[in-house]
Amino acid sequence: MDRQDLSNDEAAIRALRHASNTAIAARKADRAAAFLSQDAKIVGSDGALIDGMSAMQRAFEKSFADPDFLTYHRTPQSVTVAGSTAAESGQWHGRWKERTVGGAYLARWRRHVDGWQIVAELYIPLDGP
């Protein structure tokens, strides 16, 4: 794989993350979960395992139903691609009317025939309650 392919893959993953943030801001649980593989494993900032795309969609629906919830946002700082796997790391925050929580996150992406999908994410709280 040449440098151009790597930069195209990095740009694709960054664009997908932006689209994911946009879906969350629009409170579209199905669209927000669509970036995940069916068997994705998400470790939330509270340490709880969210097992699979369907479970993550339900978690989004629960957050979006909370009248105090404002948004979740991830800002990638690094994307490293190696073949059909990519690692993304950056900063995240969750905002509610009366509080903000944030920290670092890590995401593992896998290239499928239909594009890149998230297979794992880990959210580490570094500030907030």
Return the pLDDT at 106: 98
Question: Which residue has 């709280």 as its token pair?
Answer: 125
**CB–CB of 90/75 below 8 Å?**
yes
Please give the order of strands across the beta sheet that includes 99-112.
49-51, 36-43, 115-127, 99-112, 85-96, 69-82
pLDDT per residue, tens digit, the chain (129 aa), is 444 555 899 999 999 999 999 999 999 999 999 999 999 999 999 999 999 999 999 999 999 999 999 999 999 999 999 999 999 999 999 999 999 999 999 999 999 998 999 999 999 999 855
Alpha-carbon distance of 108 to 112, in angstroms, equals 13
Tokens, residue 17 = 């993350």
Return the pLDDT at 127: 85
CB atoms closer than 10 angstroms to residue 127? 9
Return the pLDDT at 128: 59
Return the pLDDT at 1: 47
Q: Are strands 99-112 and 115-127 parallel, antiparallel or unpaired?
A: antiparallel
